[in-house]
Amino acid sequence: MANSVQAKKRIRGNERKATVNKARVSRIRTFIRKVEEAITAGDKTQATDALKAAQPEIMRGVTKGVMHKKTASRKVSRLTKNVKAIA
């Protein structure tokens, strides 16, 4: 348990940041899921549009600190490869 005033303030701030970060990660996952669903459906135009919407959202996660840069690049790369593979 936190004893000092500063430690208690830190805990409150961490809780606020955790809720915001949780929402950000959830939003990113939703965008990724939309791309993956379009890929499994085989709809290339919808998958391309979903990917265009997902890319900035994923990179925004990097700038906000909820995702590592290389993780985001890997995800975008794999999604792009799968979208291109649709016949």
- Residue 2 predicted with pLDDT over 90: no
Residue 80 has pLDDT above 80, yes or no: yes
On the question of pLDDT at 1 being above 90, the answer is no
Render 33-69 in DSSP notation, one character per residue.
HHHHHHHHHT-HHHHHHHHHHHHHHHHHHHHHTSS-H
Range of the domain at 67: 5-84
Q: Write the pLDDT tens digit of every residue in 38-73.
A: 999 999 999 999 999 999 999 999 999 999 999 999
Average pLDDT over residues 17-22: 97
CATH code of 80's domain: 1.20.58.110
Q: What is the tally of structural domains in the chain?
A: 1
CA gap 59, 36 in Å, rounded: 18
Q: What confidence category does residue 87 fall into, taking pLDDT thresholds of 50, 70 and 90?
A: confident
Q: Model's pTM, two decimal places? A: 0.87
* Res 60: pLDDT: 97
d(CA 19, CA 13): 10
Cα–Cα distance for residue pair 70/5, rounded to 1 Å = 38
d(CA 1, CA 74): 39
51 CB neighbour count, 10 Å cutoff: 22
Average the pLDDT over 21-41 and give the result: 97
